[in-house]
Amino acid sequence: MNSDTFQVACRRLLAMVMAGAGTDWLEEITTPVDVRACTFLLVSSDDFCQLARVDRNLLGRLLMPRRPMTKLSLMQLIRAFLERFDLLAEGRALGDWCDFLREQLAGLGGDNNTSDLVRYSRFSEIIFSVSGPSKVVNFARENGIDFDAALRKLGLNGFADGRYIKLCRYQYYLETLRTMEVGENHPVLKEVVKSDVVNAPAAEGKLLGHSIIEILIDRSAGKVISQAWQNAILTIAGDPRVPKSSASYQQWWSIIGDKRIALMRGWLSRFDLALFLGVLEQSAKDDRNDAMERMFAPRKTFMEGLVEQEAVYESRLFLTSSAESYLKKNYKKEKLPSYALVKGGQASVIYLQLKNGLHMVEGTHSFSIRVMNKLPEKPGITDYSIDVFNSRDLGVGLAEFYLWQFQRDGGLMETAHNPDLTWQNKVISHLAKFNLKLDVGKLIAPSKYRTYKSKFGAS
């Protein structure tokens, strides 16, 4: 390896590749020393590997001076495979590389004393495969051993920083996500949101991030997703309730599928509501408004009752600058859902799309609650390309837009949050008018439900 002949061969091949010789440089591989130089550069030279690709032409040329390859050159080519893997070849070329290595290992015969090559030959069908990283993880599971023990058994533990083992570890992350307790705040969640993990290639042209999101959503289906799992999804892909033309939607959600998007939107409605209630409670405290604080509990019970009865399909938050500052102090930016800003007023607002085509708009401070059977085109509450709204347009103005577009057709109801129980009955009655009948006992505090029934009857 230190001979002048070898060093000259390395410099010659590197110079030709760097000079942009296309595939002409392959013709320079005429001796076993040239083969050794080429395989050495595939392992050790980033400059060489940026321009040289492993394909049938190169693999065929490596056998021209001698067939089979020398053990040293073969070992170097294996190292290049484990260090660089899909960074040096992809698609059919990667498959050709795998076939080539298996054939060379099969031809070693029984006189080989190189322990690593013996081990690679024994496990060649697992290691030297386009889906090798997945096969390594399956090997660990089928043999009941942990991931690092599997690497030692396969002779791969010396390549922990290489591309191949990184992809193995990523596949191991997926297997962990598939088998850990649903909703568990597992340490692997901190790993799977890292940029190099989520952007690693996966099967069928997808990225690993797509697989991670799919596993977390599919395993949570039929349940309330845990905060830890929801945070992981938001960190990777952001909120799906953004314009479909946005970069995050195109990269992630457009590939995830409508069913998973619908599930995520439903879970985020719960999160939106929790954030809104936090802002509502904080507003009352900040303003030292006793009346607002008294109204908080019944409003919280009512809105949480809607979500618990699965009456809410979707939601959207509209935050004042002070509310935005409050949330940013308490949550990391990447773990917050999408929201719009409100200008010109004190009230933050939440919009809820309900069953049966109904819509509810609620706000903090002295904001009146409004329920509609149709949503007016203005001000564009569900248009995610609009991210700043005038405060009046979400309150009194919204009612005016409704009446301007639909006249007084009986579909709009608005009421202040007093007196207690009366406002709840107005909302409940209006929802029932459009066949959205709810368990009133889940919308009213247990301590007040008897009083409610005596005033308005059981629903």
Residue 457 has pLDDT above 90, yes or no: no
Give the per-residue pLDDT at 292.
63
Are 231 and 335 a contacting pair, CB within 8 Å?
Answer: yes
**What is the average pLDDT value for the chain, to the nearest integer?**
92
Give the per-residue pLDDT at 281.
85
The CA angle 338-342-347, to the nearest 5 degrees, is: 110
283 contacts: CB under 8 Å, gap ≥ 6? 289, 292, 323, 346, 348, 364, 365
Q: Look up residue 110 and give its amino acid.
A: G
Interatomic CA distance for residues 267 and 86, integer angstroms? 37
Q: Give the model's confidence band at 111: pLDDT under 50 very low, under 70 low, under 90 confident, else very high.
A: low
**Mean pLDDT on 185-212:** 90
Q: pLDDT tens, 145-177?
A: 888 899 999 999 989 889 999 999 998 999 999
Q: Look up residue 47 and give its amino acid.
A: D
Residue 74 has pLDDT above 80, yes or no: yes
Q: What share of the chain is helix, strand, coil (3-state, %, to 5)?
A: 60, 10, 30
Give the per-residue pLDDT at 285.
78
Residue 129 has pLDDT above 90, yes or no: yes
The one-character DSSP state at 407 is: -
- What is the C-alpha end-to-end distance of the chain, expressed in Å? 88
385 three-class SS: coil
Residue 293 has pLDDT above 90, yes or no: no
Give the per-residue pLDDT at 343.
95
Q: pLDDT tens, 52-68?
A: 999 999 999 999 999 89
What is the pTM (predicted TM-score) of this model?
A: 0.79
Sign of the alpha-carbon torsion through 261, 267, 271, 273: positive
Give the per-residue pLDDT at 406.
94
β-strands 339-343, 388-390 pairing: parallel
**Mean pLDDT on 80-85:** 96
Give the per-residue pLDDT at 62.
96
The one-character DSSP state at 253 is: I
319 three-class SS: strand
- Mean pLDDT check: name the lowest of 31-45, 190-204, 398-412, 415-429: 190-204
Residue written as token pair 């509810």:
360
**Mean pLDDT on 317-339:** 91
Give the per-residue pLDDT at 454.
93
